[in-house]
Amino acid sequence: MFGAATAIILAVFGLALLVSPFIVNAYFQRKASRFADEILEDNVEEFNKRVKAKAVAVLVRRSIWGLLFISGIILNFRAISERGFNWLTLVFPLLGIACFVFGILGYRDELKRLKPLK
């Protein structure tokens, strides 16, 4: 019914239509977060509480992703070893470790935004 090129174009548009609400939501959440930070800049104590909460949220969120990637290998280790090791057996644990590292780095970057109390 459709040619291969038409099917590819429809698949790309379908994927874009599926992903776009999540991208728009993330954009407006970051924008709202920046506005909230600007409002709280005068109140140093509340600003520091917000920064600490965001830092912990970043650490937890990225650690959960790291655990998901690593647990997929650990829970399926017997099946993976029976089929033989390939490049995916290295990629997923490295991706999990990278999530942990980026979580720690994101946590440290957020804590650098803390302001000293007057």
Phi, psi dihedral angles at 69 (to 5 degrees): -65, -45
Q: Nearest Cα to 74, choosing from 63, 61, 64, 89?
A: 89
What residue has token string 């647990």? 71
pLDDT value, residue 96:
87
Distances in Å between the Cα of 36 and the Cα atoms of 32, 42, 50, 98, 108 are 6, 11, 9, 30, 20
Entry pTM: 0.69
**Cα separation of 17 and 12, whole Å?**
9
What stretches in the chain show pLDDT beneath 50?
A: none
Based on C-alpha coordinates, what's the Rg of the chain?
Answer: 21
Contacts of 117 (CB under 8 A, 6+ apart): 44, 45, 48
Q: CA 36, CA 55: separation in Å to the nearest integer? A: 15
Residue 1's pLDDT is what? 62
